[in-house]
Amino acid sequence: MEKQNRGITGKAVNQSGMVLFLASVFAVLASSTVATWAQTVRIEHSTLEFRTSPIVDLHMMLRSRDTDGKIEDVDSARLPDLGAALAAFGELQEVLGGERGWLMFEGNFDGCDSARQLLERFEGLPESARGQPLRENALNYAQALAGIEPEFLNGPWKKRKTRLNERLIELEELLDPHIENCIRFINRSLNITDPLVSIPVYITIDGPAPGASTSATVDDRGVCFVALSTAEGTQFVEAVLHEAIHALDIATRQQSHALNSLRTRLVESGIKRTDKRWRDTWHTIMFLQAGATVRKFISTEHRDYGEAHDYYSRVSRIVEIERPVWRAWLNGSLTIDAAIERIVTEISSDEFSFLVVKFLHHRDGPGWKQQFRKNRALHFPHAY
């Protein structure tokens, strides 16, 4: 089995109760389950380590299946046990609590290059989660992957590996001269003290929409997964840097950096963690920061991923508030504390605008007008 590591110097997600429970369960894993390259290595600054792995790619291929279980560009006839693998996948996903459960679980794939290694890793999982057989279902899934692994390696993987290598070469050409400055700029902009971590970034062919995610490992490292389907060119670079920000965020949970300060101030202002605005507010900062980093060091003509892929339109009011404030902070005309306070003040005092945007975004749904009036009366009984 083969894994490529290309070193380049360099779903904290608001989860459901089930996912938070899984996070606490996985924290008791023995240190032997952590990837061998996760040993402490003295480095001068945080790094990105680009990797490809056939077993990770195979897993992400299954994750990207459509609602009928079909996988794009894959001849199921060449993978006769694909159905069994998809069934085992579905059973494990049910134990994990749905799609979002994978965000906390996929850190276990870090360092695995084959189904055999995945089986060894899963042997160290807790026996159960929420009364359901976690270890058994995880091992069943790894065994099912082992059943289609030979055909995958001898068939689809050959072409997929070539495509991945091409993207890795492109990434190195774009990022290698600038990645150290990019990471330093991100840390400085977010008020992060560099945690001095090597961040694994797995490049895959497929991935569940939108194509990129970051999972935490048991030792508080972030593992990034970025699919080729995420974006092209500098927007793909931005997606990589965005996930790197998530990984830096995971590695600095205890720091009072800008993201953590923003989260705290939002709660203090009355915006609960269960409120969609809470996550959208700090998550949009990640988008803005990653885009600004690409423009500063990679291409002045870069167009933000959030703009090109319609993320900004889905959080338009937050972008309208945050973009000018964050630019002011980056160009030095506003302090970070003042920027955070302005963002929190405007978002917490403008709940009605968020309600309007939410319902206009879904205005083609059945009964949207009636639902809008109901919510308007519920939240703003004195407004009209």
283 vs 242: CA distance, rounded Å:
10
Structure confidence at residue 76 (pLDDT):
60
Structure confidence at residue 374 (pLDDT):
43
Structure confidence at residue 218 (pLDDT):
79
Structure confidence at residue 30 (pLDDT):
35
Structure confidence at residue 72 (pLDDT):
61
Look at phi and psi of residue 225 and say left if phi exceeds 0, alpha if psi is from -120 to 50, else beta.
Answer: beta
Strand partners, 215: 223
- Beta-sheet strands, E only, within the chain: 4-8, 47-52, 198-204, 212-216, 222-227
Structure confidence at residue 19 (pLDDT):
44
162 vs 160: CA distance, rounded Å:
5
Determine which helix (DSSP H) or strand (DSSP E) holds 99, and give its type and residue range: none
- Beta-sheet strands, E only, within 53-205: 198-204
Structure confidence at residue 179 (pLDDT):
93
Residue ranges of the chain with pLDDT lower than 70? 1-41, 66-77, 351-384
357 vs 305: CA distance, rounded Å:
21
162 vs 168: CA distance, rounded Å:
10
What is residue 192's DSSP assignment? P
Structure confidence at residue 29 (pLDDT):
44
Structure confidence at residue 103 (pLDDT):
86
Contacts of 299 (CB under 8 A, 6+ apart): 234
Residue 39: alpha-carbon gap to chain centroid = 23
Report residue 205: phi and psi, to 5°: -75, -50
Report residue 194: phi and psi, to 5°: -50, 120
Paired tokens of 167: 């993207």
DSSP characters over 264-326: HHHHHTT--TTSHHHHHHHHHHHHHHHHHHHHHHT-TT---HHHHTTHHHHTHHHHHHHHHHH
Q: What percent of the chain has pLDDT over 90?
A: 67
Structure confidence at residue 37 (pLDDT):
40
